[in-house]
Chain A
Amino acid sequence: MAYPGLVLANAALGEGVETHLFFTFWGFDMITKSRMTQLKFTPLGNTATHLPQGLGGLPGVTALATHTMKRQIAEVGVPEVPEFLKQIVDSGGHLWACRMSADMMHLDESDLYDSVEGIISAADFVEKTEGAQLLFI
């Protein structure tokens, strides 16, 4: 699920808090140019959809759930992921990509959203955020 991290980052920026986002593994699609506009939402593992979990694996359910999610997100005035990332960057937020994820997926900076400031290691991120409030989402 892409939104919780983005909503929290946006809220922090709106409160004047310096904000850095580190995208790793399942979060990587959000900043990968070839994938970021085609993100899908699955009800699997998400009990908040109130659907039987067995439905999640059926053909077409992911597409339907994605469609519903997009409509509901738009109804509350929240942009889709690429536009949301732009708003976060425009608000002064910093985007970082995980070195290990990039290596595993054979991606480099040219494959990533232009506003990603760099591909850095987990240790780099920990160093960068020393003393900060860290959230893992």
Chain B
Amino acid sequence: MPVTTIASRDIHVDGEGFLTNYDEWDPELAEQLAKQIGVDLTDRHWTAITFLREDYAARAETPGLRRVSHGAGIPTKELFTLFPKKPAKKMAYIAGLPKPQGCV
């Protein structure tokens, strides 16, 4: 498993850069991860990220767009604005979770 250095920390990631160890993530790291993909985190972003973290902890599966929209109470349109172009992947990346596997 590759190891990369973000914010002076060694982080385990997969071939595409998604974190592979849930516990290596913290909010400070999220800020750095977001910067890497050009996202400035606002409270609204954090609502989504927090939901992803909690949902993954409960189900051991990264939620897809629809589940985040329903669970975090953020309309799909807004998710596309907050995390442009590839919201499901970008959210998972910033939240330090594996790439979502579901189709929807």
**What is the interface of chain B mostly: helix, strand, loop, or mixed?**
helix
Query: A90, B104: Cβ atoms under 8 Å?
Result: no
Which B residues from 51 to 104 make CB contacts under 8 A with A? 64-67, 69, 75-77, 80, 84-89, 102-104
Q: A39 interface residue, CB < 8 Å from B?
A: no
> What is the CA–CA distance of A79 and B65 in the complex, to the nearest angstrom?
12
Query: B87, A14: Cβ atoms under 8 Å?
Result: yes
Query: B64, A90: Cβ atoms under 8 Å?
Result: no
Query: A76, B75: Cβ atoms under 8 Å?
Result: no
Question: Please, which residues of chain B bring their CB within 8 A of the CB of A15?
Answer: 85-86
**Residue in contact with B75 in the complex, picked from A11, A14, A16, A90, CB distance below 8 Å:** A90
Interface size, chain A (Cβ < 8 Å) = 15
Question: Please, which residues of chain B bring their CB within 8 A of the CB of A11?
Answer: 103
Chain B: which residue is nearest A6 at the CB level?
B104
Q: A10 interface residue, CB < 8 Å from B?
A: yes
Question: Please, which residues of chain A bring their CB within 8 A of the CB of B86?
Answer: 14-16
> What is the CA–CA distance of A94 and B50 in the complex, to the nearest angstrom?
31
Question: Please, which residues of chain A bring their CB within 8 A of the CB of B67?
Answer: 77
Q: Which A residues lie at the B interface, using CB under 8 A?
A: 7, 10-11, 14-16, 76-79, 84, 87, 90-92
